[in-house]
Chains A and B, each alone.
Chain A
Amino acid sequence: MTSLATATLCGWLDGVGVLGPGLDNWAAAQPILAGETDYQPRPVVVPPPAALPPPERRRVGLAVKVALAVAQEAITNAGLDAKHLVAVFSSSGADGDNCDAICQMLASEDRHISPTRFHNSVHNASAGYWGIACGAMTPATVLCAYDGSFGAGLLEAMTQVTVEGVGAVLVTYDAPNPQPLHAKCPLPAAFGLALALMPHRGPHSLACLCIDLVESPLHRVANPDLELLRRQIPSARGLPLLQWLARGADGRVILEYLEPLSLAVDVQPCR
């Protein structure tokens, strides 16, 4: 393996949030990923975005609800305050329901889409609602690298942590598209994964993570159903890292990025 970065990027993982089919939260997902509990696939139960004021709560779509839920879980688990963290959101496509509704209207006789539909159409709706929900005026970015969106998000979050010396919450999320978009971009379920990353070790630190860009075969998830999720949903490309953490394993886990590069994460658990 050839290391491509001249500097390795390291930070401390203080909190995890996860939500997907049969994965209700990080506490429930850990024994499943560790192989101690059976995985039971079932529809995703997305908690309502309680932190948003009622008008905004009514307006958000599924993708944003997933993003907000895992982001909140990660920083709660980390004992952190969003007001002190930069936020890095990354999604392969964001809100397909909203996009479908707009495109249907624009293809009809009456093209007058609603203002809410329009402002929800921006890829950064997640970051906008997140800021409103937690009052965080810190920088927030929103990325897309299609199937490499998890890796691109982790790379951006780790450069924030190491270069700017700030804590960052990485939030990757996807939601399924309705037909006819689904046929062109099939995502089987909603999925979200968030990591709270800090420049220094703290009382909540779970592990030290160092990342590098390498050329190396990808790690898979041991459970075949979860492995299928990893292959089908870009934000689930981070599942092998969660499996590593759930098992308390140390060593290098290889995640999908952009061909021909993969993202290597060296995991050193805090014991």
Chain B
Amino acid sequence: MTPLHLSHFTASSCLGCGLEATLTALRQQRGGLAPCHFETIGDLDTQVGEVLAVDDAPLPAPLAEYDCRNNRLAFLGLQQDGFRSAVAAAIARHGRRRVGILLGTSTAGILQTEQAYRRRDPHTGALPDDFIYRTTHNTYSVADFVRQYFRLEGPAVVVSTACSSSAKVFASAARLLAAGVIDAAIVGGVDSLCLTTLYGFNALELLSPDPCRPFDRDRKGLSIGEAAAFALLERTGPSLDADAVLLLGTGESSDAYHMSAPHPEGLGARMAMAAALQSAGLQAADIDYINLHGTATPSNDAAEGKAVMALFGARTPCSSTKGATGHTLGAAGGLEAVISALALQQAFLPGGINTLRVDPATPIQYLTANRDVAPRRVMSNSFGFGGTNCSLVLGRAG
């Protein structure tokens, strides 16, 4: 593919709101997971990566009908790092109809519906009058909210493929740009804590009681987090700073194996990584760091480890940053693309925290401490339920 410029990007998660807080936490190898007391939950022995500032981020009054945790998190994320101004400048450059919105989410505002079900009319069973499905729970609501917020009039869509959602938006946006349908895209992901995912992963016995330990020999499952991550994707201009971050390649595949378990040999994951390399015109040896999907469930890490070994061997440094952020599901691809972009700009490889003894069954070069090495090209992996896989390749302009 023709490289695209991430002309602006931002992320908010349990590590903090904005790039500086995110970078500081990564530099200090500090995580944001804490015991789960979310909402009315008192019976789940697990950790969550909650963004506490969400509760203090009401939406602007004209957009009140969009009010739900997911859109509040989106709004909070858009206020960081001058992202709002960058979008305004892109609109001024390209026009309201030439800036697309492609966002990933798995939860959207379903928490709103979960809470509305508790307030059903005791006689009729009807949901309360103040509950609005379209602008909160519906999968599209976050893209619609962002479109209304920026008064955009161009293409918009939500990609909802579970935990690969906000990686796949980069691929779809790149196609729209290549086709000439748009000149810039707001891409990213927003996923927020809710009861469905917490009790759902509990039902699958995949929640770790301790902060998750990706690729640890004794890993016990995942920790759920929430995040809003955004990037502005544009064609490259005539001159780019050396530390400009480019999207170099995207690769997508399907496992065709099981709804909630990965292909045991990581075949789909391997195909996505290989496709991303091919799309970027690169070899495995050209990749300096892999931000792994690394959810810390026994089967996911084993499958991804096999896929990485098959394609990269043990020579490529890699880590999962989910020990710090938790697994932010539909926002994970976007969040980890931003973390990868920070690694490229700030010249370091983030070590995976909480991992004490790397699983000897996966002899990849897993980093448990930060490394002061300046990567030129990195890969970010995102895989999900339904056997959906997406890998991105990002690189420095110079």
Contact = CB atoms under 8 A, between A and B. Distances in A.
A218 interface: no
Interface string A89-127: 000111000010011101100011111011111111101
A113 B254 contact: no
Among A6, A148, A180, the one with the most B-chain Cβ atoms within 10 Å of its Cβ is: A180
16 contacts: A7-B179, A7-B181, A113-B203, A115-B203, A119-B385, A124-B385, A124-B386, A128-B259, A129-B259, A139-B252, A143-B159, A145-B140, A155-B176, A158-B179, A181-B133, A213-B155
A34 interface: no
A114 B171 CA distance: 33
Contacts of A145: 140, 143, 156-158
A246 interface: no
B259 A143 contact: no
A245 interface: no
Given A127-B254, A136-B256, A258 B156 contact: yes
Interface in B121-152: 125-127, 131-134, 138-141, 143-144, 147
Contacts of A163: 175, 178-179
B138 A146 contact: yes
Contacts of A93: 138-139
Interface residues of A, number: 71
Contact of A137 (B98, B141, B200, B271): B271
A221 B158 CA distance: 28
B62 interface: no
A196 B33 CA distance: 45
A1 interface: no
Nearest to B144: A146
A263 to B, nearest CB: 10
A261 B259 contact: no
B258 A132 contact: yes
B125 A179 contact: yes
B314 to A, nearest CB: 26
Given A4-B97, A92-B138, 16 more contacts: A5-B181, A93-B138, A111-B199, A119-B204, A119-B259, A119-B386, A122-B162, A128-B387, A144-B139, A145-B158, A148-B156, A155-B181, A159-B178, A180-B120, A213-B155, A261-B153
Nearest to B254: A131
Contacts, number: 221
Contacts of A114: 203
A160 interface: yes
Interface string B14-34: 000000000000000000000
B159 A142 contact: yes
A142 B386 CA distance: 11
A163 to B, nearest CB: 5
Interface string B89-107: 0000000011000000010
B234 interface: no
B254 A137 contact: yes
Contact of B386 (A92, A122, A138): A122
A146 B127 contact: no
B230 to A, nearest CB: 19
B117 A143 contact: no
A260 B113 CA distance: 29
Nearest to A131: B256
Interface in B178-209: 178-181, 195-196, 199-204
B259 A106 contact: no
B201 A118 contact: yes
Contacts of A124: 160-162, 384-386, 388
B157 A112 contact: no
B254 A122 contact: no
Contact of A106 (B131, B161, B175, B199): B199
B168 interface: yes
A138 B267 CA distance: 12
B172 interface: yes
B138 A137 contact: no
B380 interface: no
Contacts of B301: none
Among B127, B202, B259, the one with the most A-chain Cβ atoms within 10 Å of its Cβ is: B259
A271 interface: no
B255 interface: yes
A228 interface: no
8 interchain residue pairs of minimum CB distance? A128-B386, A118-B200, A139-B252, A123-B160, A6-B180, A131-B256, A144-B139, A7-B180
